[in-house]
Structure 1
């Protein structure tokens, strides 16, 4: 699935001559190893129109490049989130590495601080809950002559936001054609007066299957901070689905800090975000 945002882009074209031989040999590099690092999947996501009481934070560790299987979960942590009015929500560990709160009360305009104490180390991060525009099927326009070849079903998502505010969004799209979730970050720099739009043309990973009548597309729009939007954009650009032929992966820095040693910050990031979701059926 691809989304196309209106923006000014400069394209650098490199022509590289490569000589290929008929023989291939798989070489496993002897990579350096390092101490495993903590990874924090800390997302407080509140769907618009719901109470948002159940929230989960996942902690795990990095693993060697060639290691197969699930990552090791980080157990035994004390996890909590406190708002700027002093209300604290505890996240007890319900399964290895999964910390669940069942009585969270999200509110717009509140600042929330994440606190994690793990193996004697304290980690903290904070974020603000912002209101997201409400999406409905009225925000979707479908045309059947889209794509480069003008023979694909194309969706255009349109929504408005307050142009006097800082607008940073994450768009998550999941189509029934391949079941893969794809996430994109964008802001209001290239949109006029708060009028946003993006075009969606879907293909499965084999690049052959296109949208067809009866397919469903789950579209979720999150309003986030500028830092978190940049975090997601770098992650997305580093992914195999979105990286260009000559892309160089960038280091991804989250907003979670080790309070005693900033050089030992964990990977991952913390966000609090209201989101709006629709499930559109291709006609």
Structure 2
């Protein structure tokens, strides 16, 4: 009997990126380190978090060096100031829980004090519109050319997509409340392009392409993961659909193509960043509007 160990991300949520984009090339001499800043504001009521570290060498081993003692704040629509405090070396979070709002512009300001010098960094992102709701999701076996896999699955959501061709999404999966796509390399980032504004009706989307599975690649979780990440009847599967900016979508693709699992390790060439000054910092400050959908896996779904 085959072990149901792998859950695939949504087959219909595919990367359909077109057009050009500006790439920032960062030339780092041997021994030189850049500040790495990575954090976000979401529409969930919680203490939002941001990480500050130093970039690691491409062949480096171990964790990056964390940056302590920085001053961190975010301005909401140029009015309210959101302050952060350091809760662990290089880890900063808002002093109070906050919830981001669609359409609001969030401006990050970081001041780093190091070796008698003070350096300031900036970034800006606008929170996108939120998917109103995910009506339902289904977990189904993955098929390719009408051949059904025995232990690979796709999550098929049903929802109204946002009518904006520049709207970008991240799909993340939880099994029984445990996030199994928890690193940048596991994020499945997508745009709908010509499907923008239409109702996404799960598996039926495949029929738009002559009955063949929706074109593009599908990301499967590592079968060596812990047993609690196996998929079995009775499991609760949650799809987290994040609406993000075009810039952050490009950053994810750049990191996945260049850096491995850690955004502050690896070759920095051609990895985009919205942290200013340009070419003096790595990472990204972004906003994310999240909508969730949940289902219970049925035995018949896995057949």
TM range (shorter): 0.7 to 0.9
What does residue range 115-264 of structure 1 map to in structure 2 within 5 Å?
115-119=109-113, 120-136=118-134, 138-144=135-141, 146-148=142-144, 149-152=147-150, 153-164=153-164, 166-175=166-175, 179-181=180-182, 182-191=186-195, 193-196=197-200, 202-206=220-224, 211-238=231-258, 251-258=270-277, 262-264=278-280
TM-score, normalization: structure 1? Answer: 0.72
Give the count of matched residue pairs. Answer: 244
Larger Rg: 1
What does residue range 67-78 of structure 1 map to in structure 2 within 5 Å?
67-78=60-71
Kept after mapping to 2: 8 A contact 1:178/1:205: no
Q: Deviations over 1:225-247 (max 9, x none)?
A: 11111112333345779xxxxxx
Q: Deviations over 1:73-117 (max 9, x none)?
A: 111111000022421111121221111111435222211100001
Offset at residue 263 of structure 1 (A): 3.1
Counterpart-to-counterpart distance in 1, 2:15 and 2:60: 39
What does residue range 14-29 of structure 1 map to in structure 2 within 5 Å?
none
Offset at residue 59 of structure 1 (A): 0.7
Aligned counterpart in structure 1 of residue 288 of structure 2, from 248, 273, 277: 273
Q: Which runs of 5+ in 1 are unaligned?
A: 10-31, 242-247
Greater relative contact order structure (CA < 8 Å, 6+ sep)? 2
Counterpart-to-counterpart distance in 2, 1:216 and 1:96: 35
Paired residue for 2:102?
Answer: 108
Kept after mapping to 1: 8 A contact 2:75/2:108: yes
Q: Which runs of 5+ in 2 are unaligned?
A: 1-7, 18-28, 204-217, 262-266, 299-303
**Which shifted more, 111-120 or 209-218?**
209-218
Kept after mapping to 2: 8 A contact 1:62/1:71: yes
Kept after mapping to 2: 8 A contact 1:175/1:202: no
Counterpart-to-counterpart distance in 1, 2:159 and 2:259: 27
Q: Deviations over 1:21-65 (max 9, x none)?
A: xxxxxxxxxxx8331221111111223xxxx24111111112234
